[in-house]
Amino acid sequence: MNTTESILGKGSFSKGEIISLLSLQNRDEQIPLFRAGKLARNKYVGAKVHLRGIIEFSNYCTQDCIYCGIRKSNLSLERYRMSFEEILSTAKLIYNSEIKTVVLQSGEDPYYDCDFISKLIVKIKEEFNLAITLSLGEREYYEYEKWKSAGADRYLLKHETANPEIYSQIHNSGSLTERLEHLSYLDSLGFQIGSGNIIGLPGQTIEDIADDLILCSKYQLDMASFSPFIPSSDTPFSDVPKASLDLTLKTLAVARLILKYAHIPATTALATLDELGREKGINVGANVVMPSFTPVGVKTKYSIYDNKRCITEDASSCMPCLRARIESCDVEIDNGYGHSLYLNQ
């Protein structure tokens, strides 16, 4: 038995073992890792993929994250905000597509105050009874409390990198510690929580990615996202090369082996990195895909990175192609809510 096989045979990994798996360069050695990721997905969460419809309702942002195309210093970006009614009618399209989760995402935009988001949650629950994931960045603690009481189910807040120095270099405010405090607070309120990293940040090492995975395991995340960095031309990182596909897939496979029951997406960034990125992600262990239902008129303006996939067609025309692509991966589409699998453990 070679080293890779003996590591893969274990139930849990040391940091050194995670680094060994992430460092596999040889395709013949990567294949057993990828196969193990897929088998673990089938074993722990089933040979199924959940769809989550995302509405990116505002690209205004008070933050200035160096890597992100909607950062406040990007003055060349045309900004948009969707109204309450527009968000609601987009949620209806998600409901009509037989998808049972809506992800409400935006830049950090205080225009949408606590009351607005609370009313939106109540209305979406009343009208469509969708599971609601919020991805609004760091907000006040009382706002999280109100939104949980209003009926929100989940909150996504990526830690982006577990390396505190890199975290501080790429963010204009806050610290990794503060971000994680928000995540813990959300967890304590009963939200299903999601976090994750960006792969391919300048200065980031394989050891840092191992730390990302260990951090995700420590927080026992319900959802964990590992997306490749893709440059945005209007940011200080415009010349930073995009992330490696191989490293992204290795991270996803190791994540599945470590996090077992977590919902792990094959991200749009992965589909942007590689024409078959979504399929490749599913084939190494991912079990979630998040089609964007953001209206075509504004979708191109939610440009967190360049050449984002599927932004010129509306979601209803994309869905047949997306469903066929998913089903080509030996998985079925699960039409349930896709709540945390830890709730059943």
Q: Binding to ligand SAM by residue 263, rule CB under 6 A?
A: no
Do residues 302 and 78 touch, judged by C-beta distance below 8 A? no
Positions of E strands within the chain: 48-51, 53-58, 101-106, 131-135, 154-156, 192-199, 223-228, 288-289, 332-334
Q: Binding to ligand SAM by residue 49, rule CB under 6 A?
A: no
- Helix 176-188 and helix 141-150, axial crossing angle in degrees, nearest 10: 30
CB of 63 to ligand SAM, least distance (A): 7
HEC letters along 181-197: HHHHHHHHCCCEEEEEE
CB of 55 to ligand SAM, least distance (A): 12
Choices 37-45, 62-70, 75-83, 285-293; region in contact with ligand SAM by CB under 6 A: 62-70
Do residues 166 and 175 touch, judged by C-beta distance below 8 A? no
Measured from the CB atom, the residue of 40 and 194 that comes closer to ligand SAM is: 194
Distances (CA, A) of 276 to 272, 295, 300, 312: 9, 24, 21, 18
Q: Binding to ligand SAM by residue 212, rule CB under 6 A?
A: no
Q: Which sign, positive or negative, has the C-alpha torsion 201, 203, 209, 212?
A: negative
CB of 156 to ligand SAM, least distance (A): 7
Over the window 179 to 198, marking each residue x when it contacts ligand SAM by CB under 6 A and - when it does not, the resulting string is -------------------x
Q: Binding to ligand SAM by residue 272, rule CB under 6 A?
A: no
The helix/strand/coil state of 202 is: coil
Do residues 331 and 278 touch, judged by C-beta distance below 8 A? no
Measured from the CB atom, the residue of 74 and 217 that comes closer to ligand SAM is: 74
Q: Report the chain's terminal Cα–Cα distance, integer Å.
A: 33
Q: Binding to ligand SAM by residue 53, rule CB under 6 A?
A: no
Measured from the CB atom, the residue of 112 and 305 that comes closer to ligand SAM is: 305
Distance CA 43, CA 290 (A): 22
Q: Binding to ligand SAM by residue 55, rule CB under 6 A?
A: no
Report the residue count for the chain: 345
Distance CA 133, CA 278 (A): 21
Q: Binding to ligand SAM by residue 285, rule CB under 6 A?
A: no
Among 269, 271, 273, 282, binds ligand SAM (CB under 6 A): 269
Q: Binding to ligand SAM by residue 215, rule CB under 6 A?
A: no
53-58/101-106 β-pairing? parallel
Among 57, 67, 147, 155, binds ligand SAM (CB under 6 A): 67
Residue least distant from ligand SAM (Cβ): 137
Do residues 268 and 310 touch, judged by C-beta distance below 8 A? yes
At 168, the amino acid letter reads S
Distance CA 99, CA 326 (A): 14
CB of 1 to ligand SAM, least distance (A): 37
Contacting ligand SAM within 103-162 (CB under 6 A): 105, 107-108, 135, 137, 157-158, 160
Choices 45-53, 96-104, 140-148, 224-232; region in contact with ligand SAM by CB under 6 A: 224-232
Measured from the CB atom, the residue of 20 and 232 that comes closer to ligand SAM is: 232
225: left (phi over 0), alpha (psi -120 to 50) or beta: beta
Q: Binding to ligand SAM by residue 20, rule CB under 6 A?
A: no
Chain positions contacting ligand SAM, by CB under 6 A? 67-68, 70, 105, 107-108, 135, 137, 157-158, 160, 198, 227, 229-230, 232, 269, 304-305
